Structures are given as C-alpha cells and as structure tokens.
Amino acid sequence: MASTDIIIGIVGSGGDGVITAGEFIVSAVSSEGLFSFMLKSYGAQIRGGESSCRVRISEQPVQSQGDEIDVLVNFSWADFLKFEHEVELREGTVILYDEDDPMPEDQVAKYAALQAVTYAIPFKRLAKERTQTILTKNVIMLGVLAELFGLPARGIRHAIARKFAAKPGVVEKNIDAFAIGQEWVKENLEKRDPFRLDYTPGEPKLVMEGNAATALGAVVAGCRFYAGYPITPAGEVMVWMAKHLPAIGGTMVQCEDEISAAGMVVGAAFGGAKAMCATSGPGLSLKSEMLGLASIAEVPIVIVDVQRGGPSTGIPTKTEQSDLMHAIYGSHGDSPRVVIAPTDVEDCFDTAVQAFDIAEEFQIPVILLSDQFIAQRKETVRPFDVSRRAVYERVKPGKAELNDYKRYRLDTETGVSPMAVPGMPGGQYPASGIEHSEAGDPTSRVDMHSALTEKRYRKYQHIIDKYSFVRTYGDEDAEVGILGWGSSKGAIKETVLRLQAEGRKVHCMIPQLLHPFPKEAFDRFLAGKKILVVVELNYRGMFLQFIRSRCDIKQKIVHYGRTGGKPFSVREIYDVVREVL
Amino acid sequence: MAVDAPKQHTTADYRRDLKPVWCSGCGNYGVLNSIYRALTELDIPPHDVGIISGIGCSSRLPGYINVYGMNAVHGRALPIAQGLKLARPEITVLAVGGDGDGLSIGMGHFPHAARRNVDMTYIMMDNRIYGLTKGQLSPTTPKGDVTVTSPFRSIDTPMDPVKLAVAFDTSFVARGFAGNLKHLTEMVVQAIQHPGFSFVHVLSPCPTFRGMDEFKRIRDLIRVVEVPAAELGSRDAAFAREDADPGAINLGVLYKSPRPHYGEEAQHLRDVSRAGLDHEPTMQELLQEFMP
C-alpha cells in the first residue's frame, strides 16, 4: 500500500535523541517539498526522563497531527507506557523496538489484538559495535525507517550534515550510522507491513515553530525592542530575539521578572519603539497591572501569551486554551485591550504583524493568544512574503497641533489622539496611569473619567471594522456549524474536509480577532444554523460563555470542551460532529 | 561641564503650569527645583528628557515638569525608564519615586537596574513614611517610631538606601538633602552626567506625617563630605563611612564603580552579531534560516 499521509511516533528516554530524529525527518521531507507536522511531548524532567514526538508526513498540506500512529519507534517500553494516553496506535500499526528491550509479557495480548506488525531491531548493538557509541542510535533508526518506509534518504543526510556542520567528524559518523541502518534492513529484514511513503518531490519548503514565526512576524512589523523573562512554553521567542535583534539594530533585554519585562516594553513603546514581550499564563497574571497602565496611558504594546495547562504552574510543557478570560478581562478597571489568536504556525507570523498594526494604529495593548501546541510544534510552511505590505505607524501630532498639544484629545472620531514621542519639540506631556485631562494632567473629575473612558473604548468599533478577520470553511448554508478558535482550527478544519469528502454539509468559523468581539461576523455565521458545535481546549467553556454574552443564540448548542495537555485529534471532533450530523 | 557657554534654556522652560499636590513645606519642592536647575545647567532641551515615576507623593513629580513624563505603576519606574532609555539612547532619562515605591513594592528592580547599568539616573525621594496613603511606616522609618500602622512603635529595622546601592555595586551613588538646594542640584547634575546607572538618595522631609521639625532634625545631622577620588571605588570605605557615626548623615558623591553601560554593551553585541556581514540582515535572509 502506498501512503501519501503517514504518521510516525518515536518514544524514548532523554538521550535517545528522539526529538532530534523527529526534526531530521521534518527537515528531510520539507526539503523534498512534502508537508509535515511534528509534535513533541516531554515529562517534567529537565534532562533525561521520557520524551516522545510524532511526525505526520503528507503530500498535501496537513492541518493537524492526525489521528492514530501508523509507525511507532519504541526505544523503551517503560517510557512508552507513560505516553500511552498521548500515543494512540491504529489497527495494524507497525512497532519497531530495540531487541534489548523486548515487549513486556503483559502487553503482548494487547498488540496482538491490534494486529500490530512488530520488528525487533538491534539499534543499540549496531550503534555500539559499528560506531563505538550509542549516541548514533537515533540516526541508525532513521536509516531503518528510510529503508523500510521510503523516507527521503537524501534529505535526511542533508539534515544531518546541516545540524552537525560545525563538527566535521560528527557529520561523517552520523552519515555512516544512517547507512548502517539502511543496510541492516536490506540484509536482515523481511518487510511484513504495508506502509511505504509514495510521493513526487517538489520545491523545498520552510520548517518553523510557532514561537519563531511569532518573533519573525514581530520584527517584520518593525519590532526592535524585546524584553522577556524565561518561561515555558514561550522561551523560544526570547531566544530567537536574542539571536537576531542585535544584528538588525534592536535590543533584547532579559529582565529580572515578568513585571519588569512588561514595564520595559511600556517604556520603549512610550519612547516610540515597537516593543513586545512574550510569556505564558503565570507571567500574564503578573503583567496585568502593566496591561492596565498601557490601556489608560494609551501606549501601544504587544504581549504574547503562549498558553499552557493552568492554573498556577499547571502543566507548563503542554497546551491548553484556558487563558481566554484572563486575556480579555484580566485587569482591574475598564481596561480596553485587543486579543487575537493565531491558528497555526504560519498564522503566528501573520498575527504578530497584525498585533503591531493594531497596537500602533489604535494605541492600545494587544495580546497575542498563542498556545504551546502551535508555539512548539514544527510545521512545514510554504515560503511566504516577508516584505511588508504596509507598515502602520502611530499617528503623531503635526506642527500646528503642537502649539497647544493635548495628548489625550477627546474630539477624534476613532478615539485615537496623536501621540508625541520623546525628542519631538513641543510634544512634552505627562502620560499617566492616573486618570487625566486631555493635556495629561491628573484629575479625579468624574466627567473626565467618563469622557476619557468612552474615548478609549471608542477605538473598539473601528478595530472591529478594520480587523474582523474570521476564517470559514465548508458550506455556508449548512445547518450544523462548528465554532472554535486558536490552535483548535487544525482538527476542526480537517474534520470539515473529511465530512465534506463524505458528502455531508457542515460549516465552521474560526475568528482571529476575539476581542473586541466581531459580532457581525458571528451573527452572519449563526444565521440559518440549527445546531452549533463549540470546540475549545478548556474545561469551563470560556469561549462558549464569551459568545453567549455577546450573541443571542437560539441554536441547539453542543459544547465540546475538555482540559488540555493533549491537543484535539480529528477523530475526536469528527465523532462529536457526527453525533448531530 | 560647559558652564561658561551661553545657555539655550532657563528654568522657566522646564516648569509646567500645574500646581503640585504636595503639602506646604514638603521636601519634594526642593527636589523638583533641583531637577529644574540641573537640567538648566546641563542645558538639555525639555523635549529630550524623559522622567518616569511610580506611585506616591513624590511620584507625582513628572506632572510638574515640562518634559516627556510618565506617572506609572507603583514600584515600576525603573523598568519603564530603562525600556525608554534602551529604545531611545539619545534621550536623557530619569526615574523618580519614594522610599516605599523603590524599596518596598519595587525593590526587586533596584539591584537589577544597578547590575544592568543602563545610562540613566534614579532619584529616590526618601521621606521615611507613606504620605499619599496617610502615614504608614515605610522601609526607611526609624525603628521605634510611631505611625498609624505602628501605633505602639515600629519594630521593623529600617533600610539604608545608600548602603544598599553600594552593595548592588551601583556605578554612581550620591546623597543630597531637599533643604540644601545648591548641593542637591550639584548631585543631580553629576548623576545625569555620569555614564551609567546613577542613584541619588535624597532626604526629602514630610512635615505632615513626620512633623514640622523634620527639616531641622536632618539639618543638624548632615555633613557634606568630599570623598577622595582614590576612595570612591571602595565599597569597604563607603560602608565604613556610613557606619562611622550613627548620628551623622553623609551628603555627597559616596561611591563610584565606573564601567561600560548597557547601551554601550548592547552596541557591542550589534557589532559582534554583524561580524562578517556587509549589511544588516534583511527580513528575507532571516526567513531563509528556516529553509531545511
């Protein structure tokens, strides 16, 4: 059976090189023009402990991590059993394991029932005997996979050479190890499974993780100041900025805490720079006060929140969509802000650009609500245009206006008043977290508080008018509609495509702008629907509550929400929708 | 200091037409005046100055000065000021605030600002009390003092901001007194001129909550010291000087630890990261990094 869509899982202990092997596969297939999608999963250990990855490879663009694993490489049964709930195997799955670590007696019946095809392979022994180190075990395994399943050998060798370019001896050793794996299969193994990747090579594509895509989008939008504090799973944004900002004339500061990082960003943005910080849930909690300041002082800042399992420390290494309420409402007082959510890796780039456009144009804090599922997975992305379409700069006061400059002028249509920046003669003003007059002077007058609050909220309608991007898939006139947001898009979209292929009518909408709420787009979507399936990766049903607070929903609602840790599979969403379709 | 060149600005250029909320007799008037005078003496155009504050009586100061100001969040003047300076190195940046703002809620930022050594000035107006919230004990309130939150007496040991700054290896540490405007102005001028993070601890009495005789009490304790240049870099000497006479308060430049400031180091990183390149990387080149 030729496969055009294959899912490989690899499980082992830290040091087995599980993740590196997965990255080699992604790199190899992307260089051959295929699409791929790689998820990593770790235990909480810093080094060592169990780790796993799954790589989906396809000739067509992939929307999600897919369903069950076709091929499992299992370096350690003990580690595999810890991931059992995350690594679901299909009927007839292929399992490769080390001959040193045979299948435990109590598991035999289970895999027999699955009709699994198993191969015991001497990964460790080959590595020791033929390369004098067990470090090459993962690359020998890749040689086995390439030979057995038709993974692109040339691409894997290229990936190895690139990864170890700085260590010449290591390149040769690993290229040899790869060949050892291939040869061993040729000489010793009789193929008993049907999987073989079949594809036509195409133009090479990019390999990105969401966090790097977010960082790249930010600098393309003009961000030249980044302040951060280490936190999982947002760390890669800061690492990317540290590596690249200096060369393009920017500054990356690692701060003493999350509050300081947000404060630095407010200060830099007050100074006229496009500035950003990235964090995760606990960090967003700490930044709430700065968010309020940016809101009332009308300072354009971008805060990326890479959501993880919460509350408190929660599950820092795994995904969840449970910061929605915090992002929208988390601050004291009436504090307007914008919340947008990327839906996949490439979208991290686009939404980062948009976040700056909105922040600068409307002088308002923007929260980019990413999550671990998008942020840390590797995905093949078609090369895209990084030359800016248009760069939005904040409105600055003209000469005439500076004669009697009022920073917080009320009489503007959009609520946006021209913002002077330090260095501009005549533009001096006090910005403040205290309520203020049009000129910026502190005031406790109730009429000013009312007028200024209304001014700050006046921006909302204009933001909605300009930035109400929503994505819809499927048949507009379907009676069943699916609503979801952020990283759930992949599984939802693939579900819709699968249902359509079966001749069933279904429609879905994924808004990018979550807050302010694009009500018209929702109302348009709701019109004609009889049943709504609302999908989100949190227990409380935050998205559903939020929509309900804004729309008069008459439809029957099927809510599918669960705690995170594991992203939605297509099968899961499909089954929910099929119940009502 | 180019004191002989004709000045382009007078103190009037820095005044802002807003009446301070401070009580009559408040030390903060002296500090505000010293900043007007220092900026005039340094002849820095008002639009090239940024003053950031936290929350508290003293943190109202940015509203009274005709520069780019921000009265921000309690305890967070330092991060905001550093962000401003790093994004706009050509702007003269000051952070101002009180003892509660800087040593209590915002204390976490002080050692890191010193360590980072961004080229800016931090003026701490120390009145040894929370004034805006009406008289609670602060981190510098002397032990034994009666306040509304220590109605029997304070049992908390006070901090000495200068000793802390020295311990943090702050690259410039000075102390002034709101009642000695000439000397305080000189301290602020030197602090702004210092390339790196400079700290000026100002005794700024609160007559309302610490009594009308606070000015006189401090005046009797202060002594202006001229620390010999050779001794300025010694932490031991700085601590010994502070501890020598518990009845005396030293005014003057008390410690210096000159070293490259953060902006210079950041520029160095830019140069290093561009080594071997004949141009700034383009966005297209950054994208190419993702090619397998």
- Decide if B267 is inside a domain: no
3-state secondary structure at position B168 = coil
A572 in the Ramachandran plot: left (φ > 0), alpha (ψ -120 to 50) or beta? alpha
Size (chain A), residues: 581
pLDDT in tens, B58-113: 999 999 999 999 999 999 999 999 999 999 999 999 999 999 999 999 999 999 99
Contact B95, B52 (CB under 8 A): yes
| Neighbour count for residue B48 (Cβ, 10 Å) | 19
Task: Print the domain residue range for B164.
Answer: 11-261
pLDDT, tens digit, 9 for 90 and up, residues B3-40 = 567 899 999 999 999 999 999 999 999 999 999 999 99
Contact status of A207 with chain B (Cβ, < 8 Å): yes
Beta pairing partners, A192: none
Domain at B216, CATH number:
3.40.50.970
Tokens of A194: 């049907």
Is B226 at the interface with chain A, CB within 8 A?
no
- For residue A247, give Cα distances in angstroms to B268, B280, B282: 10, 6, 10
CA A196/CA A7 separation, integer angstroms: 11
* Strand order, beta sheet including A5-13: A117-121, A89-98, A69-74, A5-13, A50-58, A35-42, A378-381, A206-209
Cβ-based contacts of A267 with chain B (< 8 Å): 52, 70, 79-85, 87
Q: How far apart are CA A94 and CA A195, in angstroms?
A: 9
- Shortest Cα distance, chain B CAs vs residue A404, angstroms: 13
Which residue intervals of chain A bear CATH 3.40.920.10?
2-207
pLDDT tens, position by position, B232-253: 999 999 999 999 998 899 999 9
Q: What φ, ψ does residue A474 adopt, rounded to 5°? A: 95, -160
- B contact residues 158-197, partner A, Cβ 8 Å cutoff: none
Interface test with A, best of B48, B80, B112 (most A CBs within 10 A): B80
Residue A140 buriedness (CB in 10 A; 0-12 / 13-18 / 19+)? buried
**Which chain A residues are closer than 8 Å to B72 by Cβ?**
263, 266, 293, 297, 431-433
Could you tell me which CATH number the domain at A470-580 has? 3.40.50.920
User: Could you report the per-residue pLDDT of B110-165, keeping only the tens digit for each?
Assistant: 999 999 999 999 999 999 999 999 999 999 999 999 999 999 999 999 999 999 99
Q: Residue A85: how many CB atoms within 10 A of its CB? A: 9
* A423 inside 8 A of chain B by CB: yes
| Residue A400: CB atoms within 10 Å | 7
A267 touches chain B (CB under 8 A): yes
| Domain at A2-207: CATH code | 3.40.920.10
Q: How far is CA B37 from CA B31, B34, B81, B196, in A?
A: 10, 5, 21, 21
Low-confidence residues of chain A, pLDDT below 70?
1-2, 44-48, 388-390
pTM: 0.96
Chain A touched by B17 (CB under 8 Å): no
3 state SS of B37: helix
Would you state the pLDDT for residue A390?
A: 66
pLDDT of residue A44: 64
Question: Which pLDDT does position A261 carry in this prediction?
Answer: 98
Number of domains in chain B: 1
Nearest Cα of chain A lies from the Cα of B119 at a distance, in angstroms, of: 14
Across the interface, whether the CB atoms of A431 and B70 are under 8 A apart is answered yes
Q: What is the pLDDT of residue B109?
A: 98
Is A273 in Cβ contact with B88 (below 8 Å)? yes
Residue B80 to residue A244, Cβ atoms within 8 A: no
The reply to whether B268 falls in a domain is: no
Domain membership of residue B41 (yes or no) is yes
pLDDT, residue A468, reads 85
Cross-chain Cβ contact A251/B60 below 8 Å:
no
Dihedral pair phi/psi, residue A71, rounded to 5° = -130, 125
What is the rounded distance in angstroms from the CA atom of residue A449 to the CA atom of residue A468?
A: 29
Min Cα separation A25/chain B (Å): 10
CATH number of A211-377: 3.40.50.970
Candidates A38, A50, A97, A39; CA nearest to A73 is A97
Start-end ranges of CATH 3.40.50.970 in chain A?
211-377
Residue B266 touches partner A, C-beta closer than 8 Å: yes
The sign of the CA dihedral A280, A369, B83, A334 is negative
Cis status of the peptide bond prior to A311, with omega within 30 of 0? yes
Q: What is the pLDDT of residues B171-225, one digit of tens each?
A: 999 999 999 999 999 999 999 999 999 999 999 999 999 999 999 999 999 999 9
- The answer as to whether B39 is a domain residue is yes
The CATH 3.40.50.920 domain(s) of chain A lie at 470-580
